[in-house]
Copies of this chain bind each other. A is one copy, B any other.
């Protein structure tokens, strides 16, 4: 390892908000930290946050599901042997659960899925992992499961502890369909007056733009399970600010913005099925991360997983704020560019 002049990348960070949040996990006025080199992100999310405080229920963030996954790869004698192995694993799920419990206090095996291609067997293990995002816990547990399988299942051999059917940090469809990370839907109902006065647009125009750009445009681009303008920006900001493995924005950014014009009021929602966040584990013990998680209310005494779920819904709410602000801006010719230029001039003064 080389001599290290600078020991850190110091990414500029600002707290934005507060956002008004409700739903099945968190409630209240909550500020959000965003670390980014793209300074226009702060006022953009800030504008959405302000609007959330003007709406009756604020952003309603609903946690739908949570799990962390790892798929192992096994080589079988042939497809028939692979099928027999898959069936044996399904039948012996309680045994597999016991193995997982033995190697981790927090990991619980909740489901398995498999795929067979020729003589190859891919088994996707799905765990709950408490307040950790769970990458390492899942790998450790999968390692133990793999050792067990190779020892007791006839005709199968080690292929890889990870077979990419998991799938970590890759653009794919499996995570959205089978679940990986926290699945959160954030919704905001904005009265017509606020849409007009604060966003300088109408519900009809935002809904139309969402259809044309996020849904049709992304389909044209060959997008996969994704229909949004820029979830990745907000995710990166929150992830860096809270010590997350920010490479998980690859799958985290695959979400769907759904908008409705409700008699002039704007229904605006973001579905984020793959939010991979934790409040313990790698990166979480850095001083500024501790501080930020504490300020977010994610260091309190809660039931297992409660702090991570709180972080997930806050993250989803921040994503909604930025997405709303950008889409509204793009309904008006020239607004995006003017805002960027104005903010960057201000920032450089």
Which residues does A use to contact B, with CB under 8 Å? 1-18, 23-24, 31, 33, 35, 37-39, 42-43, 46, 60, 62, 64, 71, 73, 75, 78-80, 83, 113, 115-120, 122, 136, 139-140, 143, 146-147, 150, 158-178, 183, 185, 187, 209, 211-230, 232-233, 235-236, 240-241, 243-247, 249-250, 253-254, 256, 258, 260, 267, 269, 271, 282-283, 286, 288-289, 291-292, 295, 330-331, 333-334, 336-337, 340, 344
- Please, which residues of chain B bring their CB within 8 A of the CB of A78? 60, 62, 187
Query: Is A162 touching B7 in the complex (CB atoms < 8 A)?
Result: no
Given contacts A170-B218, A214-B164, A340-B136, whether A64 and B46 have CB atoms under 8 Å apart is no
Give the chain B neighbours of A5 by CB distance below 8 A: 15, 291, 295
* Chain A binding surface, main DSSP class: mixed
Q: Which of B35, B183, B219 contacts A225 (CB 8 A)?
A: B219
Q: Given A62-B80, A282-B38, are A220 and B176 neighbors across the interface (CB < 8 Å)?
A: yes
- In angstroms, how far is the closest chain B Cβ from the Cβ of A178? 7
Residues of chain B within 8 A of A336, CB atoms compared? 139, 143, 161-162
